[in-house]
Structure 1
Amino acid sequence: MANLDETLTMLKDLTDANGIPGNERQPREVMRKYIEPYADEITTDGLGSLIAKKVGQDGGPKIMVAGHLDEVGFMVTSIDDKGFIRFQTVGGWWSQVMLAQRVTIVTNKGDITGVIGSKPPHILTPEARKKPVEIKDMFIDIGASSRDEVKAWGVRPGDMVVPYFEFTVMNNEKMLLAKAWDNRIGCAIAIDVLKRLKNENHPNVVYGVGTVQEEVGLRGAKTSAHLIEPDIAFSVDVGIAGDTPGVSEKEAMGKMGEGPQIILYDASMVSHKGLRDLVVDVADELNIPYQFDAMPGGGTDSGSIHIARNGVPALSITIATRYIHSHSSMLHRDDFENTVKLIVEVIKRLDRQTVDRITFE
């Protein structure tokens, strides 16, 4: 692997952390370590979302930049008498990406390696080979011979199970392959936005937030927005990359390396027109590349934030990412850096007058 610079080390630490919905302690501690030097105050809400506050101007508009800490994974539900583990998906999975994949079970006694079992093709009928295995029929093998042995190793129902994958810089060093880009890249964006604002004058109060339980219903976004009461919010997340074989532009327009995706519409919200227009104007002014996308399925934390309290102008800005909701996904470093640059430049323009002007457009 290429030598890791400061940014890549942060990205590796964030993606290596294990944290499915409801179990976000590891990524929260990593995010806290990296964002603390740039924050005036760090708090959490009652569900565990991390909220880092950076004051530019006391009493200025409150700007929320939210990535979610959780990743899709699984939860142990039962152990059979032969020591095989049954599990529940936590977040959205397609069965075809799961079989024979390595996983980590996080227990109170430490991490246990397992694999999602699969039948060899030699014993499958021609009909069975054509049919995907249903998730309810899958199991995890940790090399145990009995239920008692599994329990002795510390595995209990409720333990989280996380995809295993090593952070990798590809031959094209702009291309980064890892687990949990969805959505540790959003957490990294929130960290770097505060970092860039550390020595800048900005006319507002910025909150860099790592929300919890996004993958199971945008839950931490709701509680953290209730606590912050933002005037403006950005949800930063992964988007769909449509630049691989078999994906048409009708399904996904995004392309890696062509800039942040400004989301016009998704299943959870219609993006705020005034805020969207401001972001596009700033990108055009500074020649920051960007692309538009709309996702009729799925949503982001903006879906909860924009209807918090009496309503918040919100916009989702995403990074085109290949192979999300699987063991590994790929994104382009330039898109990360351009997203940070764009959000920082927009925040520097969000004074009270501008916020009031765009709110009702």
Structure 2
Amino acid sequence: MAQLDQTLTMLKDLTDANGIPGNEKEVREVMTKYIKEYSDEIVTDGLGSLIAKKTGDENGPKIMVAGHMDEVGFMVTRIDEKGFVYFQTVGGWWSQVMLAQRVTIFTAKGELTGIMGSKPPHILSAEARKKPVDIKDIFIDIGASSAEEAKEWGVRPGDMVVPYFEFTVMNNPKMLLAKAWDNRIGCAIAIDVMKNLKTEQHPNIVYGVGTVQEEVGLRGAKTATFKVQPDLAFAVDVGIAGDTPGVTEKEAMGKLGKGPGIVLYDASMVSHKGLRDFVTGVADEMNIPYQFDAMPGGGTDSGSIHVTANGVPALSITIATRYIHSHAAVLHRDDYENTVKLITEVIKRLDRETVNKITFE
């Protein structure tokens, strides 16, 4: 692998960390390592979301920037008599991206390598070959010869199973390939926004948050928001890239390298008009590229954030990403850096008067 700069090293550490919903400890430790020097204090909520606080003006509004720490993965449910491991998906998966993929099972005795398998096509009927394999018919082969041997190696129901993939800078060094971009890129943006504001005077209190359990229903965002009680919030997540073969703009608008995506609408919320207009106004002022996005079939942490307590004006900002909810995904470094720049510039302008004006627009 080519020499990594400071930013790429952080991105590698975040994406290499393993954490499906309910198992985010390793990711939280990595995020804490990077965000602590830019924070006044770090706490967690009862579900394990990380909340880092940096005070600019103690009488100013509370601004929350959230990325979720969890990634899609699997959980062991049973071991059959031959030692094959069966699982529950944790987060959304499509069976066609799962077969023959390498995974890591995290047991009390250490890590085990496995490969996802199913009945080979050579013995299927012609009709069966035309259909995707059902997830319930996929298993994990760890090389065990019996249930007893698998158990001796430490495998037990409830163990976390995570896709295996190494962080890779592609031939175009702006193109970054890794597992878990959904949503370690959001965690990285929260870290770098806090970093940018460390030496800047900002008229508010900023919270960089790593939420848990987003992939199973935006759960950590609800508890973290309740703890912070922000005046405004941003959820930063991946968006659907629409720039690969076969995808039309009607299906997905996001394009790699064209700037952060300002989400107008998704299945979990209608974006706050006042906040959306303010953010795009700052982007226009600073000549920061951006694109609009709409995801009628998906949602982000904003879906929970905006309906917590008395309601929180919220906006989702996305990074166009190819092949999400699979073993590996691709995004563009410029989109990451422009999102950090945009959110930083927005926060520097969010004083109490401005927030009050935004809230009621």
- TM-based fold match above 0.5: yes
- Determine the structure 2 residue equivalent to 1:342: 342
CA distance in 2, matches of 1:274, 1:125: 57
Q: Residue by residue, what CA displacement relative to the aligned partner does 1:264-298 show, whole Å, maximum 9, x if unpaired?
A: 00000000000000000000000000000111011
CA distance in 2, matches of 1:118, 1:100: 8
- Determine the structure 1 residue equivalent to 2:81: 81
- Determine the structure 2 residue equivalent to 1:52: 52
CA distance in 1, matches of 2:2, 2:277: 39
CA distance in 2, matches of 1:3, 1:97: 30
Return the offset for 1:225: 0.2
Return the offset for 1:221: 0.2
- Determine the structure 2 residue equivalent to 1:325: 325
- Determine the structure 1 residue equivalent to 2:356: 356
* 1:273 maps onto 2:267 in alignment: no
- Determine the structure 2 residue equivalent to 1:121: 121
- Determine the structure 2 residue equivalent to 1:237: 237
Could you tell me which runs of 5 or more consecutive residues in structure 2 were left unpaired when the two chains were aligned: none
Return the offset for 1:118: 3.1
* 1:298 maps onto 2:305 in alignment: no
Could you tell me which runs of 5 or more consecutive residues in structure 1 were left unpaired when the two chains were aligned: none
- Determine the structure 2 residue equivalent to 1:258: 258
1:68-217 equivalences in 2 (<5 Å): 68-217=68-217
Comparing 127-136 with 281-290, greater Cα deviation is found at 127-136
Return the offset for 1:119: 3.5
CA distance in 2, matches of 1:93, 1:161: 13
Return the offset for 1:56: 0.6
Q: Residue by residue, what CA displacement relative to the aligned partner does 1:28-52 show, whole Å, maximum 9, x if unpaired?
A: 0000000001000000000000000
Q: Check the 8 A contact 2:263/2:316 in 1, yes or no.
A: yes
CA RMSD of superposed structures (Å): 0.7
Q: Check the 8 A contact 2:253/2:293 in 1, yes or no.
A: yes
CA distance in 2, matches of 1:337, 1:56: 23
CA distance in 2, matches of 1:97, 1:70: 19
Q: Percent identity?
A: 81
Q: Residue by residue, what CA displacement relative to the aligned partner does 1:77-128 show, whole Å, maximum 9, x if unpaired?
A: 0001110011000000011111111000011111100011133333233222
1:28-67 equivalences in 2 (<5 Å): 28-67=28-67
CA distance in 1, matches of 2:197, 2:119: 53
Q: Residue by residue, what CA displacement relative to the aligned partner does 1:162-189 show, whole Å, maximum 9, x if unpaired?
A: 0111100000000000000000000000
Comparing 134-143 with 118-127, greater Cα deviation is found at 118-127
2:226 partner letter: H
CA distance in 1, matches of 2:278, 2:133: 47
1:79 partner letter: I
Stretches of 4+ aligned residues off by more than 2 angstroms: 118-125
Q: Report SS of the residue matched to 2:237.
A: strand
